[in-house]
């Protein structure tokens, strides 16, 4: 009886503990030459980096937006700071093109990255045409590297298209800072990393 009570107490205590394999505080601090460096000093290689048959797509949601009652708000000061941090993370990633939607919050996020990378092209694609853009780049630009700045719903839509299944849900409205890296061979053999920056 004594041992049964001890085991029950241990089980109750352990049920209230959450064990995470990767702490939330580990974030990407830089990406250079196919190597992701984290703020704890660890590194991870981007799969298939340098293989010209694979396309690499970095996907992020726009940074924090103002709540001004319009459907096309600017970034907040916090959002501008996050966009500047994203630019520092991706400065040496080797991007060939940045794609944003028609909305200011995605353009402002993408422009912060563009200002840090000499010669990179920034293109606008209508939010409802992103899947067409994805199909075009996968068929026409193997080996290239893209940054797609989207929305809480368009980022998971593209990820689901790349994964070939409904795996990703809409990003919560108050959540920013996710960085997905999708490496794909014309939409097949796709690997997706989910990180924080």
At residue 11, does pLDDT exceed 90? no
What is the per-residue DSSP string for 86-155?
HHHHHTTS--SEEEE-SSHHHHHHHHHHHHHSTT-EEEE--GGGHHHHHHHHHHH-TT-EEEEEE-TTHH
Domain-embedded: residue 88: yes
Domain-embedded: residue 141: yes
Domain-embedded: residue 50: yes
Domain-embedded: residue 2: no
Domain-embedded: residue 11: no
Strand partners, 160: none
Number of domains in the chain: 1
Under 8 Å between Cβ of 158 and 99: no
At residue 149, does pLDDT exceed 80? yes
Q: What percent of the chain has pLDDT over 90?
A: 85
- Domain around 58: 28-196
What CATH number does residue 170 fall under?
3.40.50.1240
pTM listed for this prediction: 0.87
Over residues 60-82, mean pLDDT:
97
Over residues 102-126, mean pLDDT:
97
- Residue 105's nearest CA partner among 57, 136, 149, 59 is 149
Report the alpha-carbon distance of residue 103 to residue 62 in Å, rounded.
Answer: 10
At residue 168, does pLDDT exceed 70? yes
Domain-embedded: residue 34: yes
Residues in the chain: 197
At residue 191, does pLDDT exceed 80? yes
* Structure-token pair, residue 100: 């944003």
Domain-embedded: residue 144: yes
């Amino acid at each position: 009886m004594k041992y049964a009570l001890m085991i029950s107490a241990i089980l109750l205590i352990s049920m209230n503990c959450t064990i995470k394999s990767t702490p939330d505080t580990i974030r990407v601090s830089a990406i250079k030459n196919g190597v992701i460096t984290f703020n704890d000093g660890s590194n991870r290689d981007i799969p298939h980096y340098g293989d010209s048959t694979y396309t690499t797509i970095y996907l992020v949601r726009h940074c924090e937006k103002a709540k001004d009652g319009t459907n096309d708000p600017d970034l907040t000061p916090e959002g501008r700071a996050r966009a500047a941090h994203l630019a520092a993370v991706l400065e040496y990633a080797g991007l060939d093109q940045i794609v944003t939607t028609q909305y200011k919050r995605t353009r402002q996020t993408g422009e912060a990255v563009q200002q840090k990378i000499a010669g990179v092209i920034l293109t606008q694609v209508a939010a409802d045409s992103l899947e067409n853009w994805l199909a075009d780049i996968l068929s026409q630009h193997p080996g290239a590297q893209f940054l797609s700045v989207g929305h809480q719903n368009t980022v998971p839509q593209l990820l689901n298209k790349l994964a070939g299944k409904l795996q990703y849900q809409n990003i919560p409205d108050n959540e920013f800072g996710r960085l997905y890296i999708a490496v794909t061979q014309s939409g097949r053999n796709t690997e997706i990393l989910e990180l924080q920056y």
